[in-house]
Amino acid sequence: MLSFLPKNAIGMMLTASTLIAFQPSAWADTQVVMLGTGTPVPDAHRVGSSTAVVYNGKAYVFDLGPGSVHRAIEAAQEKGIKALYPTNISHVFFTHLHSDHILDYAELASTYWWRRTEQINAYGPTGLNAMTENYYKMVETDIQLRTSGLQPIKNPTYYQVLTQEYDHGGWTVKDGDVTIEAFEVPHGDIEPAFGYKVTTPDKTIVISGDTSYNQRLIEKAKGVDILVHEVISEAGWSKLSKEWQTYHDEAHTRTSELIKVANQAQPKLLILTHVLHYSAPLESVLSEMKAGYNGKVVLGKDLDVYE
């Protein structure tokens, strides 16, 4: 787990995977929880993409890749972040609809739904409504059995999700003191794909989603407290076929490009996620980044918590 140290220990790095500090915590309320830091490439230690922002006991979850709901349960039960217990999650935002970002959507919506006190609100790109309707079809038999049998259910409609889909960026969701801004990012031939900027009373956070290098994200991320950004290893990319190199150039951000993003945006902390490294060591992305960027940068892992 990553967290704060006392003020006189700012900037100190402890051994291995213990604690890293970048700001004092006395007044910090917002947490960024890395639920899933993986990619479509199967990895025993990294589940599908998912990042949660938790403020004032409420969670805002960005993407729900395969395995991320189990990580949310772990965060709730083992790390004490109760807002991430599945029935407590009521706001979900999708960056795009690739499978490694969405496959736990049905898992979240169907998990213990009869104990919910409110429905899930889901926001994302065009296709979200159709995806939700198909989730209903998938669990149709289960829903019929639960709602027409002996199981006591207070509200038989809470398996349903309140959806809002958008065919472009520029929209905003405001929930009390929390504001979420959606902006478009380039991700190959996927349109639209969104990045998100989250503003709470004590933090500003940008989540890139899957994206190639782009100026809009840089502008949104300038001076933020935390930038969560995808990355592909330059060393790993260099050994791919020309076809795959071309694809990744259009769809993802190489370390050489992310260095440019970070140097222009200057976030207080840069978290690397959705790490595509292929034949290169996983840690290569961190060493490549540090070769050209002097700011605070960490290699995100599942269930890391940043405050």
pLDDT in tens, 81-117: 999 999 999 999 999 999 999 999 999 999 999 999 9
What pTM was estimated for this model as a whole?
Answer: 0.90
pLDDT band at residue 8 under the 50/70/90 scheme: very low
Return the SS3 of 128.
helix
Residues 200-211, mean pLDDT to the nearest whole number = 97
The domain ranges of the chain are: 7-306
Alpha carbon 137 to its chain's center? 27
Half-sphere exposure at residue 184, Cβ-oriented, CA atoms within 13 angstroms = 13
Give me the helix-helix angle, 128-138 and 140-148, nearest 10°. Answer: 60
* 3-state SS, residue 273: strand
Say whether pLDDT at 18 is over 70.
Answer: no
Q: Read off the pLDDT of residues 47-90 as tens digits, 9 standing for 90 and up.
A: 999 999 999 999 999 999 999 999 999 999 999 999 999 999 99
What are the strands of the beta sheet with 58-62, ordered from one edge?
161-166, 120-125, 91-93, 58-62, 50-55, 31-36, 305-306
The least confident of 117-121, 203-207, 282-286 is 282-286
Q: What is the mean pLDDT of residues 10-16?
A: 31
Beta carbons of 63 and 101 less than 8 angstroms apart: yes
CATH number of 7-306: 3.60.15.10
- The whole-number pLDDT of residue 149 equals 86
Q: Within 13 Å of residue 149, how many CA atoms lie on the same side as its CB?
A: 7
Q: Where does the pLDDT of residue 236 fall: very low under 50, low under 70, confident under 90, or very high at 90 and above?
A: confident
What's the rounded mean pLDDT across residues 135-156? 94
pLDDT at 7: 29
Residue 160 pLDDT grade (very low, low, confident, very high; cuts 50, 70, 90): very high
Q: How far is CA 232 from CA 9, 77, 149, 256, 288, in A?
A: 32, 32, 50, 9, 10
As a whole number, the mean pLDDT across the chain is: 91
% of the chain exceeding 90 in pLDDT: 84
Instruction: Return the closest-CA partner of residue 198 out of 189, 187, 206.
Output: 206
